Structure 1
Amino acid sequence: MTQNYEKKNKQIRKRFYELLEKHPDSFTKRLKFSWSNWGFGFEPLKDSFHRLHQADIRYIELHGNHYGKDLGYRVKETKQLLESYDMSVSGVCGMFSAENDLSSNAPGKRQAAIDYLKREIEFTKEVGGHYLLVVPGAVGRPQAYDDMELERSADSLLTVADLFQEYEIKAAVEPVRAAEVSFVHTVAEARHYIRKVNHKGVQHINGDVYHMQSEEAHIGEAILEAEDHLVNLHMADSNRGALGDGHMDIDTIIMALYLIDFHQKAAFVTPEPLGPGGDPYPAMHAKPDQEKLNYLVQQSVSYFREREEYLLNGGGYTKNQ
């Protein structure tokens, strides 16, 4: 007897191969593969570029590390590295802790989040990025302040919504699992939050399959639900490790992405294998383990491309499946 999740997998697989058979020309492009470098720890940006270039990865999601006006990646140096390594910026990973929390009940912490977003929006534009990740509440704080967090967060983000629109940068709202944040845990809740902000400059979602496996009924269906809102998808296997090292259903994720034409857009698949735990942010300050990081990158990109090509070449599918 088929289990419920298998029925959903089967339906996505059926739709994928029907579309592939009907419109094969629309599958000539491949999904854009990026990498989020903040998990590399405290290393020179050049080392990150070198590692990704060696793995034939052409997009990078940069750590949003402009925590103050004198901190973070410099535009000139970053653009020089992009040119030297023939790479482009997919987007910037916004980092939101209790110190810069859009939903905080301390006005100064909300102002810190607003000021931080202003710096990162400008940086994202200058380095050619497409999106800036926004977490509505602090990561590593799963306990709610009160029942007004969503309202305060939406009000804070609305303050900079005009800038997102002016700079043509997509505000990518990320749902995060309940073990790490106090609200906005699912795609449906992210869409509700976007409606709450109610601004053309805030219309997109950054998904994360590690969080989705905890919060969504089915990851593939959640991707389909996100539709055109989805601009980036963070990836890690079920153990938050390299792709292929756990039991995450990578095939269904890939097929769902093709069903929403993810490969046709300025949209990205971006591994972020951070390891398990309630607060992943300490990883950004860690001493880099070069051997481990090289393995994470090489294993993830090779496994993802292998599964993608397998599916696009039929994947053993027959119409009676």
Structure 2
Amino acid sequence: MRYSICSWTFGNIPIEKVFDRVSAAGYKHIDMQALVNDYNWKEVKQLAKDYSIEINGLLCDSGWPIEEHDLANTNRVNRKLAVDYFKRQIECVKMVEGNYLIVVPSAVGKYSLLGNKKSEDWKWAIESVCNLTETAKENGITLVIEPINRYESCIVNNSDDLLNFVMEVNHPNVKGLLDTYHMNIEESNVKEAFLKLKDWIEVVHFADSNRQGLGRGQIDFEKIVSVMKEIEFDKTVVLECMAPGTNPFNADKGEETVQIMSIYAKESLVRLKEWFN
């Protein structure tokens, strides 16, 4: 089992300081946001090695309202631009020797459909992801589809959506992700969600019901860990919690963000190791 943590949750601090905090908390792995133009990725790769940290993968950069980053955009030109941008993100994963790019089929923050019905937006998203599969295959990268709750995105919100999506794309380089925070909102039966997706799950994101550190909310993690052991999941678990505050799309919650996240990182890693080891 690989225990990782999302770099973006530490807010607006230099990536070197993130690596320092993550390393100090005991992590050997990290997931970064695929901000293609913000980093010299070769330097990031070396910096991670300096801190004895492995970059497992990148989280897609697809924040709404940038329509040119939206794989399910109603405008064909925008979808083409989004596909081209995602191809660059895949190449960045390769540069840092990562394994996957986490893909949200509809831009993060876009919670309303652009088409007349869901089937239209769904078709656009499927088409776009299918246009990414060859690049993913050439680079040896897995596209990991993430369901996000209805208040933060549309199209793929729950495990049923995820299963239907990956099966329709039907490509060996396309897998899925489950996130305990989003599942707490969208799933009626968490165990069933894991069981039906057991052959597709590549990554699991962990955060509590209030999106804080593990044990600071109401999620029954023992039940989740139990079913993960039942399906023999042994890939990547990623802590993706946030410091308390408004705006789920901005991790920076003020001056104490880094301090709070450092505490969450340490105590959550202890819990993960206790549960899985």
Provide the TM-score with structure 1 as the length reference: 0.79
2:91 aligned with 1:125, yes or no? no
C-alpha displacement of 1:122: 0.6
Letter in 2 for 1:81: L
Distance in structure 2 (CA, Å) of the matches to 1:222 and 1:302: 26
Q: Distance in 2 between matches of 1:283 and 1:290?
A: 10
- The answer to whether the aligner puts 1:281 opposite 2:255 as a matched pair is no
> Does 2:71 correspond to 1:102?
yes
What is aligned with 2:226? 255
Q: Secondary structure at the match of 2:131?
A: helix
Distance 1:142 1:75 in 2: 31
Per the alignment, do residues 149 and 288 of structure 1 end up closer, same or farther by CA in structure 2, a change over 3 Å counting? Answer: farther
- For structure 1, the 5+ residue unaligned runs are 1-30, 310-321
Choose 105-114 or 54-63, whichever is displaced more: 105-114
| Match 1:59 to one of 8, 16, 29 | 29
Displacement, 1:286? 6.8
Residue 231 of structure 1, CA deviation: 0.8
1:82 corresponds to: 48
The amino acid across from 1:95 in the alignment is D
CA distance in 1, matches of 2:60, 2:254: 18
Tell me how far 1:129 sits from its aligned partner.
1.0
Deviation of 1:219 (Å): 1.8
Q: 2:153 is matched with which residue?
A: 181
The residue type equivalent to 2:195 in the other structure is L
Q: Which residue is equivalent to 2:80?
A: 111
Residues 218/142 of structure 1: CA separation in 2 closer, same or farther (3 Å cut)? same
SS in 2 for 1:283: coil
Within the candidate set 119, 129, 135, 2:104 is matched to 135
Please, what TM-score do these two structures have when normalized by structure 2? 0.91
Post-superposition offset of 1:191: 1.7
User: Partner residue of 1:44?
Assistant: 14
* 1:248/1:286 CA distance change after superposition, 3 Å: same
- Find 2:213's aligned residue among 242, 246, 253: 242
Give the number of aligned pairs.
Answer: 271
Instruction: Classify the secondary structure of the residue corresponding to 2:203.
Output: strand
Q: Distance in 2 between matches of 1:279 and 1:155?
A: 31
2:243/2:257 contact within 8 Å kept: no
Deviation at residue 254 of structure 1 after TM alignment: 1.5
- Residue by residue, what CA displacement relative to the aligned partner does 1:79-109 show, whole Å, maximum 9, x if unpaired? 2112211111111111322311111112343
Q: Distance in 1 between matches of 2:76 and 2:254?
A: 30
Cα distance in 1 for residues equivalent to 2:153 and 2:52: 36
User: CA separation in 2, counterparts of 1:215 and 1:46?
Assistant: 35
Paired residue type of 1:297: A
- Residue 125 of structure 1 contacts residue 169 of structure 1 at CA under 8 Å; is this kept in 2? yes
Native 8 Å contact 1:176 1:184 kept in 2: yes
Does the Cα contact within 8 Å between 2:244 and 2:253 map onto a contact in 1?
A: no
CA distance in 2, matches of 1:95, 1:277: 22
> Which of 158, 164, 182 is matched with 2:130 structurally?
158
Q: 1 CA distance for matches of 2:18 and 2:243?
A: 19
Deviates more, 1:115-124 or 1:75-84: 75-84
Q: Deviations over 1:233-281 (max 9, x none)?
A: 1110111100111111111211222222222xxx211011136789622
Query: Alpha carbons of 1:126 and 1:285: their partners in 2 closer, same or farther (altered >3 Å)?
Result: farther
Q: Does the Cα contact within 8 Å between 1:173 and 1:206 map onto a contact in 2?
A: yes
Contact 1:95 1:135 in 2 (8 A): no
**How far did residue 112 of structure 1 move?**
3.0
- Whole-Å separation in 2 of the counterparts to 1:193 and 1:278: 31
Q: Which has the larger radius of gyration?
A: 1
Query: Contact conserved, 1:131 with 1:172, CA < 8 A, in 2?
Result: yes
> Residues 141, 229 of structure 1: CA spacing in aligned structure 2 closer, same or farther, 3 A cutoff?
same
State the identity %: 30
Matches of 1:184 and 1:278 in 2, distance apart?
24
Greater shift, 149-158 or 109-118, is seen at 109-118
Which stretches in structure 2 are left out of the alignment for 5+ residues?
A: none
For residues 76 and 284 of structure 1, do their structure 2 counterparts lie closer, same or farther at Cα, with a shift above 3 Å needed? farther
